[in-house]
Amino acid sequence: MILGEELVSVEPATGNIMWRGVAGDVDVTVDRARQGFRRWAMEPLARRMELLRRFVNVVRKHDGAFAELIARETGKPLWEARTEVAAVMGKVEISITAYAERTGFTRRDVDLGGSMSLRHKPHGVMAVLGPYNFPAHLPNGHIVPALIAGNSIILKPSEKTPAVADFLVRCFHEAGIADDVVQCLHGGPDAGKALVAHEDVNGVLFTGSARAGIAINRKLASNPAKIVALEMGGNNPIVALPTPLIADAAATVIQSAFMTSGQRCTAARRLIVVDRFYDDLVPAVKALADRLIVDEPFANPQPFMGPVIDNAAADQLGDAFLELMSRGGRPLSHLRRPDPNLPLLEPGIIDVTTLEERPDVELFGPLLQVVRVADLDEAIAEANATRYGLSASLIGGSPEDYERFWLEVNAGIINWNKPTNGASSAAPFGGIGLSGNHRPAAFYAADYCAYPVASNTQEQPRAAIAMGLRD
């Protein structure tokens, strides 16, 4: 990274430049955050909560402009961008509740008039590394609980969505939170690496690819003092057993695989169907996928899917689809690209049952692989044939089938007759394996934003040595 290097954000749906900026100075930004932390941590908890509630009011005042900006910079439909803004606002009250429930103050009396107390202290300067698919909601999910706990924040957004990050940070400032308590640091991968490694950064809260998350984990493996929370996506299975509600099952698969153009860490990448349900479900999924409207974010009627983030991502997905075909995959719906100059992709579905080895990668886009299996035993084995473990869902079956699925499938989110995505912020969010490092976010974010400190106290020293002394 070159300090002051120009950065550009391009609108995926049009190819037009929508934002220009320059790479920031990591050392200066961290130093300001250190100064901001000293003041912010001394603010009473009630004051910090009050300012974050003001933040909600600021976002509500600008919700229309915020949603339009998200839609333009990510390419997601306007209706979906509005749900992201709503999630930003909803995060505050959920985080206040979580802080009280998981990191609150407790005290009890002990002998000799003393007391034992448990309180939680902020870590200090927290680096939040955000993704491009939810450039407001996902970083905000780290920022809000970290601020409640008393930390200062440096948001390093994806270089593909800097405008949304700027807008989000300005909302915190407009609410009265100082500009050295929440800062936005722009830059590419080098800026992120420098921020992660900086000796005055006390925590790294990351959402993104497994490759980047593993690199962070390796970099900080010898520094246990720095808190690290990693959310790294998944190769998520949705398993289908027979159900009479075929249309509902198909809609659940479509929601799982193609919401946000498949650019969700919880998106279903693999549809695993038992033999006796394949001919009912798979044609219904294909028919519904072929009806999905794919268009620019502000089109009328509103599309179900917008473009993927950029042409490079579209190229990679197209290459992956062709690779699966070359290895024996049977296309059910081709991953079509109507305009080679824009990253609009019509959803692709491919049966990969006969592949001798299926790639265990996160294909981050509207590409669904279908696997036919004999029974639930084989379905569970196939679901677990991955190094990831974020989200999994079971369609159909009995309560006993779901209990077995829940027990045996390796994932941090396990649903029944619900999509793999759309997780609630009122529950923990995280995975195992290459999907995370056992520090779930959402309601459990409070756990990594402050650390517990146990204290034994009394107003005056009262002690005596009862034995082991010479006369």
Longest dimension (CA), the chain: 95
Which residue is catalytic, options 80, 231, 296, 346? Answer: 231
- Helices marked H in 25-136 — which ranges? 26-42, 45-61, 63-74, 78-103
Query: Which residue type occupies 366?
Result: P
Catalytic annotation present for 265 = yes
Element (H, E) at 284: helix 275-289
- Other C-beta atoms closer than 10 Å to the C-beta of 107 total 11
Which residue is catalytic, options 265, 296, 382, 449? Answer: 265
Sheet containing 115-122: which strands, arranged edge to edge?
Answer: 106-109, 115-122, 450-457
CA dihedral 327, 332, 338, 339 (to 10 degrees): -20
DSSP state letter for 113? G
Instruction: Please give the distance of CA 429 from its chain centroid, rounded to a whole number.
Output: 8
Burial call 377-414: b when 16+ CB within 10 Å, e when fewer: eebbebbeebebbbbbbbbbbeeebbebbeeebbbbbb
Phi/psi of residue 370, each to 5°? -110, 135
Which positions are catalytic? 231, 265
